[in-house]
Structure 1
Amino acid sequence: MTDLKLLTISGSLRKGSYNRKLLAEAVRAFGQAEVIEADLNLPLYDGDLEDAEGIPESVQTLVDQIKAADAVVISSPEYNKGISGVLKNALDWISRVPGSAFKNKPTVVMSANAGRTGGETGQYMVIHCLVPHQAEMLPGPTLCVATAGDEFDENDRLLNERYLKVLNTRMTALRDRVS
């Protein structure tokens, strides 16, 4: 199947973030697919805003992208031992749209961080926050790219063979799940 749709979600808004670089590597490892990059530059969740204006168009677009995707890959940094604010905000908004966009959606979570644990605590928190969304979390080895500033070359390619092996294992499993 060559017409697979893969949605990538970065928990960092920064264009040059380590997690965007890791997602680019994940896309290469996944293989041929239509790749959609989610935009988490959403308004802060506010019940009063929702009551007054409904679901923002940008949130509905994200929900539609999740629903249309065959698989989702999320890569997010750890901020202060937790999930990034933009990713948590997106998950909060997504939960307000009827239809459970992530329900049974094959999903892989990974992280890249400047610290020595590679965002492990934040990654577990992302997985925990996906539980009420009923995403189908693919089991497998955890991918936490530590000291990420040293792990990508000048072309933003991942250097560490151990990380690449885990990444390839995860993306092969994801592709096999949706093919």
Structure 2
Amino acid sequence: MASENQRLLGISGSQRQASYNTMALRLAAEQVPPHSKLDVVDWRSIPPFDADYLARSGYPRTVAELRAGIEAADGIVIATPEYNFSIPGMLKNLLDWVSRGADQPLARKPVAILSASPGPLGGARVQYDLGKVLLFMDARVLAKPEVFIGNAAAKFDAEGRCIDVDTIRFVGLQMTAFSTWIDQVRRM
């Protein structure tokens, strides 16, 4: 049985206004169990990673706030597109900032990944690359069920709501499994 009041943080790998992955995160927020709440973070102000800046001045305020949000969350949900068969550069940049320091907020943190794409594969390749990066960061990535939303343009309406019954069901199954995974990771 899942714990009460799970706080989830959602990160979209796309910063586009009409991002299918942000739409997928909103769908995930609608599908989490009643005891969970998923808040999508706006991370547009994260600067390019700069090790010299970090050594000289510490984390920029926006990075420090994101790290604190990740630390406070019970789990992280990442919905990301696939750029050139891999992780979007800005999402990788965000992870590079988050991973610095001995107090890595993603260490032992449960993470669920989903992806949406206008193409037929639904971002399958990005999930494997992102999983490798998160594994190195010692995150606890949910293995199953995987959610790949292919042909996303036909699955979301003009207002960004999912209109595909199977997609709604798959995302719901993943969010239910993720809630259980969070509790399992806590007991490890």
CA distance, structure 2, for counterparts of residue 64 and residue 37 of structure 1:
14
**In 2, Cα distance between equivalents of 1:139 and 1:124:** 10
Tell me how far apart the structure 2 counterparts of residues 164 and 85 of structure 1 sit (CA, whole Å). Answer: 28
- 1:137-156, aligned counterparts within 5 Å? 137-156=141-160
Which secondary structure does the structure 2 equivalent of 1:79 belong to?
coil
Q: Within 2, Cα distance between the matches of 1:137 and 1:102?
A: 10
Residue in 2 that maps onto 1:50: 54
> Are the aligned partners of 1:40 and 1:86 in contact in 2 as well (CA < 8 Å)?
no
Partner residue, 2:83? 79
Alpha-carbon shift at residue 2 of structure 1 (Å): 4.5
* Residues 142 and 178 of structure 1, relative CA distance in 2, 3 Å threshold: closer
For residue 38 of structure 1, the aligned residue among 28, 35, 41 is 41
Q: Is the 8 A contact 2:108 2:139 kept in 1?
A: yes
Residues 116 and 150 in structure 2, CA contact (< 8 A), matched pair in contact too: yes
Q: 1:117: Cα distance to partner?
A: 1.0
* RMSD over aligned Cα atoms: 1.6
| Alignment partner of 1:161 is 2:165 | yes
User: Are 2:187 and 1:172 equivalent residues in the alignment?
Assistant: no
Over residues 125-165 of structure 1, what are the superposed CA-to-partner deviations in whole Å (9 max), with x where a residue is unaligned? Answer: 11111111111111213211112111102332222233222
1:134: which partner in 2?
138
Moved over 3 A (4+): 31-35
Alpha-carbon contact 2:145-2:177 (below 8 Å) kept? no
5+ residue gaps in structure 1?
Answer: none
> Matched residues in 2 for 1:75 and 1:94: separation?
17
Aligned to 1:12: 14
Moved more, 113-122 or 36-45: 36-45
Q: Deviations over 1:20-42 (max 9, x none)?
A: 10001101110343433223321
Over residues 48-95 of structure 1, what are the superposed CA-to-partner deviations in whole Å (9 max), with x where a residue is unaligned?
222222211111111111110011110000011110111100110011
CA contact (8 A) 1:75 1:110 kept: yes
- Structure 2, unaligned runs of 5 or more: 184-188
Is the contact between residue 25 and residue 40 of structure 2 (CA under 8 Å) also seen in structure 1? no
Contact 1:55 1:97 survives alignment (8 Å): no
| Equivalent residues of 1:40, 1:87 under 8 A apart | no
